[in-house]
C-alpha cells in the first residue's frame, strides 16, 4: 500500500512537472524573441550577375554581391509562427531600393549608404506555416551586399494599442461616431469602397450591391470653371451620407499660383518650398486655396457630415508638386494646413489620413497630425492580401494608427485577407477600368467580395448619425470591478471571481481579433475555451484591462 501511495505521488509529481515545463516553454516563446534561424546568402541560387565573394567580415566567410542580379533560396522553418525577417546587408554604393519576396509575395526595402553591415528588418511579424518556403531578393536597383537572412520568432502586436481619440480637439459628435465605427471594425471586417459615385452606381447595377465608402475629389473646385458646378462634391457627399455611407475626400490640388491648371510635377513649376516664406506669393496662394477648401469642408460640418480627409497624397512619390522639393516643405505644408483648417477655420469634422509611400519616414507629419495611415497599392491582377505591406505599416507606426488601402487598382481577395489576418480598415478602388475591367477586378470577384460577411457593403452599414460611442466627459462611467482569473495557464477551463456582477467576458488572439465571448451575469463563473488552439490570448472582463492567459 505504501508502494502504491509512493507511485501515486511520483505520477502526480511527474504530471505536475510536465505542466511546469509546458508553462515555461510557453513563456519562453511568448516573452522572448531569441529564437532565430539563419540562412547564409552564399547558399542561395544566384542569377543576373549576383556573385559569391569571400570576406573575413562576413558570416561563414562569404557574402553575395548582388550587383544587378537576384538571389533565390529555399528555407525550411521548423515551426508555424509569426516571424520577423532580417537581412544582414551593406550598401557601399549609396542608397538603394530592392525587393524581398517570400512565396511569391514581395515588398520593397531601402538601404541607406552604409559600407559596413547592418541588420535590416524587411518583414514584420508575418504568420508563416512550418515547412519549406521560397525566398528571393530581387533586383530593382541592385548593388547591395548580402551576408545572410535571419528569421526571428515573435509575438505579433496586440490591437489594443490603437489610438482611440482623434487628433482634432473637440471633434463633432458625428465625427466621433464615424471614428468609433472604424475602430469597432478594424481587424474584424474590411469596408468596401470606390472612387466616384458613378462607379458605385455601376457596381449596384451589375452586382446588386454598393460599396460602403465613396471617394470624392476637389479636383475642379475653386478654379472658376464655368462648366463645373461647385455644389457637386457637397451634393454627392451628402446624398451618400444620407444612405449611411462613408464620405472620403482627396484633393488633386492644381497649381495654386494659377500659372497652370496642373498638379503633376512635370507640368508645373510651382515651388512648394516657399511654404517657409510667409511673405512669398506662393505661400499666400497656398493659404488662399486652403481657406477656400476649408469653406467647402465647413459646409459638410454645418450639415453634420463627417469627412475622411486625405490631402497631399502620395507625396514622397514626387510626381505631384507637393512632393517635388522633398520631405521638409511637404511636412510643413501639412502642418500648416492642419492648423489653418482646425484652429483658424474651425473644422472639427475631419479624420486625417496620411498616404504613405516607400522610404517616406522623414515625410511623416507626426502622430499628432495624423489619425489614419493609408497606402495606395496598384499591382495589376494581384489579389493577394498585401499582408507584407500591412504588417510593415502596423510595425512602422507602432500599432498606434489604423492602416488602410487608401487607393488600389486590383483589390485583395477576401479569402486571402482572412487567411493572412491582414486587417486593413478599408479599400478604395480607383475609378474607370480599375472598377469595371476584368484586367484589374472581375465582376465575379466583386460579387464574391460583396457576398462575404467579412466585407462591409452599403446595405450593411449602421446609421452613423446614431452609432453608439463610449461615454464622454460629464457622463457617469461605471466603476470597474476588481476581479481575479485563475489559472492563467490552463488546458480548458478558467475560474473568474469578482467583487461585482460580471456581465461579459471576451477572449482575443494576439492580433486583437475576438475568438470567443460569454455573457455571464454572475460574480463567480467558470468558462471553457474548448475548441480554441493552444497559445497566448487576452481575456477582457467587462470594461477592464485585458489579462494575458496561456492555453496549453
Catalytic residue numbers read: 314, 407
- Measure the CA dihedral 223/229/231/235, to 10°: -130
- Other CB atoms closer than 10 Å to residue 160's CB: what's the count? 13
Closest to 315 measured CA to CA, from 259, 358, 377 = 358
The packing angle between helices 232-241 and 281-302, to 10°, is 40
- Give residue for cell 474607370: 432
Cα–Cα distances in angstroms (integers) from residue 167 to residues 339, 369, 469, 472, in the given order:
11, 6, 17, 16
- Other CB atoms closer than 10 Å to residue 362's CB: what's the count? 11
Q: Is 155 exposed, middle or buried (CB count within 10 Å of its CB: 0-12, 13-18, 19+)?
A: middle
Q: Are 240 and 197 in contact (CB under 8 A)?
A: yes
What is the rounded CA–CA span in Å between residue 64 and residue 230? 59
Closest to 192 measured CA to CA, from 212, 176, 173, 209 = 212
Strands 426-429 and 402-408: parallel
- Please state the φ and ψ torsions of residue 141, each to the nearest 5 degrees: -115, -35
What is the rounded CA–CA span in Å between residue 358 and residue 273? 22
Closest to 457 measured CA to CA, from 203, 268, 231 = 203
Q: Which three cell numbers stand for residue 471?
A: 461615454
**Strand, coil or helix: what is 106?**
strand
Q: Which three cell numbers stand for residue 111?
A: 538601404
DSSP letter assigned to residue 160: G
Tell me the DSSP string of 272-335.
GGGGG-TTSHHHHHHHHHHHHHHHHHHHHHHTT--EEEE-STTGGG--BGGGTT-HHHHHHHHH
- Please list, in sequence order, all residues whose beta carbon lies within 8 angstroms of the beta carbon of residue 487, skipping any fewer than 6 positions away: 494, 495
First-to-last C-alpha distance (Å) of the chain: 34
Q: Are 88 and 117 in contact (CB under 8 A)?
A: yes
- Please state the φ and ψ torsions of residue 362, each to the nearest 5 degrees: -70, -15
Tell me the DSSP string of 61-72.
GEEEE-TT-EEE
DSSP letter assigned to residue 231: T
- Please list, in sequence order, all residues whose beta carbon lies within 8 angstroms of the beta carbon of residue 340, skipping any fewer than 6 positions away: 287, 290, 291, 294
Strands 372-377 and 350-356: parallel
Q: Are 160 and 546 in contact (CB under 8 A)?
A: yes
Amino acid at each position: 500500500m505504501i508502494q502504491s501511495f509512493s507511485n501515486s505521488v511520483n505520477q502526480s509529481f511527474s504530471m505536475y512537472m510536465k505542466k511546469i515545463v509546458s508553462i515555461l516553454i510557453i513563456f519562453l516563446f511568448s516573452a522572448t524573441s531569441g529564437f532565430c534561424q539563419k540562412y547564409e546568402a552564399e547558399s542561395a541560387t544566384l542569377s543576373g550577375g549576383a556573385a559569391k565573394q569571400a570576406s573575413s567580415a562576413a558570416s561563414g566567410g562569404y557574402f553575395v554581391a548582388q550587383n544587378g542580379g537576384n538571389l533565390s533560396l529555399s528555407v525550411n522553418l521548423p515551426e508555424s509562427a509569426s516571424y520577423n525577417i532580417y537581412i544582414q546587408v551593406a550598401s557601399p554604393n549609396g542608397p538603394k531600393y530592392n525587393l524581398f519576396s517570400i512565396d511569391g509575395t514581395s515588398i520593397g526595402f531601402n538601404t541607406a549608404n552604409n559600407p559596413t553591415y547592418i541588420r535590416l528588418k524587411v518583414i514584420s511579424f508575418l504568420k508563416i506555416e512550418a515547412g519549406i518556403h521560397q525566398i528571393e531578393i530581387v533586383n530593382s536597383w541592385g548593388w547591395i551586399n548580402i551576408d545572410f537572412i535571419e528569421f526571428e520568432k515573435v509575438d505579433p502586436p496586440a490591437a489594443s494599442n490603437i489610438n482611440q481619440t482623434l487628433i482634432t480637439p473637440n471633434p463633432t459628435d458625428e465625427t466621433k461616431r464615424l471614428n468609433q465605427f472604424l475602430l469597432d471594425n478594424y481587424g474584424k471586417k474590411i469596408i468596401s469602397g470606390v472612387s466616384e459615385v458613378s462607379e458605385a452606381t455601376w457596381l449596384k447595377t451589375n452586382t446588386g450591391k454598393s460599396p460602403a465608402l465613396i471617394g470624392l475629389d476637389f479636383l475642379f473646385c475653386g478654379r472658376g470653371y464655368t462648366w463645373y458646378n461647385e455644389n457637386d462634391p457637397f451634393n454627392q457627399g451628402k446624398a451618400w451620407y444620407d444612405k449611411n455611407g462613408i464620405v472620403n475626400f482627396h484633393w488633386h490640388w492644381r497649381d495654386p499660383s494659377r500659372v497652370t491648371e496642373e498638379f503633376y510635377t512635370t507640368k508645373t513649376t510651382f515651388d512648394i518650398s516657399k511654404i517657409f516664406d510667409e511673405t512669398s506669393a506662393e505661400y499666400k496662394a497656398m493659404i488662399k486655396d486652403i481657406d477656400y477648401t476649408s469653406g467647402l469642408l465647413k459646409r459638410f460640418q454645418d450639415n453634420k457630415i463627417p469627412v475622411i480627409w486625405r490631402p497631399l497624397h502620395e507625396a514622397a512619390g514626387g510626381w505631384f508638386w507637393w512632393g517635388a522639393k522633398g520631405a521638409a516643405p511637404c511636412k510643413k505644408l501639412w502642418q500648416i494646413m492642419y492648423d489653418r483648417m482646425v484652429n483658424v477655420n474651425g473644422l472639427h469634422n475631419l479624420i486625417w489620413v496620411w498616404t504613405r509611400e516607400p522610404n517616406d519616414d522623414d515625410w511623416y507629419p507626426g502622430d499628432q497630425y495624423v489619425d489614419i495611415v493609408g497606402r495606395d497599392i496598384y499591382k495589376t491582377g494581384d489579389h493577394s492580401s498585401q499582408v507584407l505591406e500591412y504588417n510593415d505599416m502596423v510595425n512602422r507606426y507602432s500599432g498606434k494608427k489604423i492602416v488602410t488601402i487608401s487607393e488600389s487598382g486590383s483589390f485583395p481577395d477576401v479569402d486571402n485577407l482572412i487567411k493572412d489576418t491582414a486587417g486593413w480598415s478599408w479599400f478604395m478602388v480607383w475609378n474607370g477600368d480599375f472598377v469595371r475591367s476584368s484586367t484589374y477586378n472581375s465582376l465575379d470577384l466583386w460579387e464574391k467580395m460583396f457576398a462575404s460577411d467579412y466585407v462591409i457593403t452599403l446595405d450593411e452599414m449602421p446609421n452613423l448619425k446614431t452609432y453608439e460611442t463610449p461615454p464622454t466627459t460629464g457622463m457617469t462611467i461605471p466603476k470597474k470591478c476588481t476581479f481575479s482569473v485563475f489559472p492563467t495557464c490552463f488546458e480548458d477551463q478558467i475560474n473568474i471571481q469578482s467583487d461585482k456582477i460580471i456581465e461579459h467576458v471576451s477572449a482575443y488572439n494576439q492580433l486583437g481579433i475576438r475568438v470567443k465571448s460569454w455573457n455571464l451575469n454572475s460574480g463567480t463563473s467558470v468558462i471553457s475555451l474548448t475548441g480554441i488552439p493552444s497559445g497566448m490570448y487576452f481575456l477582457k472582463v467587462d470594461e477592464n484591462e485585458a489579462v494575458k492567459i496561456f492555453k496549453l
